[in-house]
Amino acid sequence: MNIYYLGPRGTFSEQALLNYLKQKDGYCVEELKTIPDIVTRLRANKGDEGLVPVENSIEGTVNVTLDMMINDAEGLKIKEEIVIPISHCLIADEIIDFEDIKTIISHPQALAQCREYIRKNLPNATVVNADSTAKAVEEIKNRDDAAAIGNARAAEIYDAKIIDRDIQDVKNNFTRFIVLAHEDSQYTGCDKTTLVFSVPNEPGSLYNILGVFADENINMTKIESRPSRKKIGEYVFWVDIEGHRCDNRIIKALEVLKGKTEFLKVLGSYPKYK
């Protein structure tokens, strides 16, 4: 079985992948360049899996993942979720003083998560975007005036030096990843279900939907709106709820929702990450 992830090595995506593969055998790992690449490959290869980021506790939702799952991932389900702590490091080719750092390189998400640290410690450095945190560490090799923001594994892979650790502005920083496959997971008793839906563009329509979850005592852990891609003012809602699609109360709620929504799709049930 192949499993695809957002490369290259040394990214937080790889760290999440390694966590997922602990005590699992028989997987062949392949890195791909973009989230759409992962979804496209999965749709063409039944039986394979893919790991993609879906949200960060500081910067919020990874919109491309939601959009791909809503519009372009027909036949794919969420099989599992993985949540990892994000600890950013300031990394250079060799130990270097702050005043000698003229350029800071990293992925835009990492730069945003370290915005205040950069402002306080490196106010005169030029900030440069990279395709990934690992790519940023690769780009500062053999440079004596640049530093990257990435994780400790990237520093190890590229034989670079860690100047400072845990530099993210909010220490309680986590990223949630989801594993995509052609089938979701069986009931465990501690599950979540993700679904997407659209509602009529009229007063109270979303309120009526949320009331269905309240009536069945179903807890929502996430709700996010995304443009429908049809016209301005129309949205599709992504909702995570506690419980499995086989739970009686979830079955009952979904039946009611069918009559209140214009579009409804269950993206999968999977064990809640512990």
pLDDT recorded at residue 201: 81
Domains of the chain: 1-86+173-183 (3.40.190.10), 89-165 (3.40.190.10), 185-273 (3.30.70.260)
Sole residue written with tokens 């034989």:
159
Amino acid 234 reads E
Q: How far is CA 28 from CA 3, 4, 12, 75, 81, in A?
A: 6, 9, 19, 22, 19
Query: Rounded mean pLDDT of 80-101?
Result: 96
The model's pTM:
0.90
Taking only the tens place, the pLDDT of each residue in 138-162 is: 999 999 999 999 999 999 999 999 9
